[in-house]
Structure 1
Amino acid sequence: MSNVEVLPLLEPAGAEAVAPCCPPLSERPFTAEEAERTARMFKALGDPVRLRLFSLVASHEGGEACVCDISDVGVSQPTVSHHLKKLREAGLLTSERRGTWVYYRVEPSVVAALGGLLSAKN
């Protein structure tokens, strides 16, 4: 049995499952709740180390990365773990423990939702 934690895009940890948040910015103004959830995502990505870790996972071969492959980002291992936890809590990463290592992945729906959020109306 796998120990996989999957958090939907922009949904706070522990919340009930909902559709990925938020229409494109150009479609309509956000509700207060949509703005709050979206801000949590951008806040998580607003740290350069977190953005780099997110990028390392997203661009890693096969779309998943072992923490052992992405931990060399200029901060200590406990700090890397802290930043990865923040990215998971924001719903940007999922993780799975395999033996002594934890593997992270960005779900394709997250990347699609991020792109859609910032897309312009045609």
Structure 2
Amino acid sequence: MAIVQRKNGAFGIYNEAGYQVEASFTAGSTGLNPKELLESSLGLCTTIVIQRMLERDGIELDENDPFSVEVKTVKAADRPSRFEECIVQVSLPDHLPEDYKNKLIKSAEKACTIGNTLKQGLKITQSGDCPLPS
């Protein structure tokens, strides 16, 4: 569960453990805006899947090994307002074989729950009775 709430004049994003990150209404400023949160959800899900596969295969990356997932969304030109594409760029260490890196990326694309949800769509139910954290 995630809760967006205004406290002390600023919006924050909370979960069951409490405050997690500052919310932002604009991109590239302090805090994360909705677009950045969407991108980071897909990026983190992809990262988790790849990391688990590396662990399963007994591959331990060095702290300095490059490993990143960058996600860029492309907004649709027509209505309704929405993103029509997510471009995911995975960077893995050069010392991993190319065929293994490609296998990791393809497997992550198939196993990432956030990616599968975005591809398939989901039902959104909205209500005016949202309990707020104390």
Instruction: Indicate the TM-score class for this superposition, using the shorter chain for normalisation.
Output: under 0.3
Query: What is the TM-score with the length of structure 1 in the denominator?
Result: 0.27
Query: What is the TM-score with the length of structure 2 in the denominator?
Result: 0.25
Q: RCO higher in 1 or 2 (8 Å CA, sep ≥ 6)?
A: 1
Task: Judging by fraction of residues, say which structure has more helix.
Answer: 1
Task: Judging by fraction of residues, say which structure has more strand.
Answer: 2
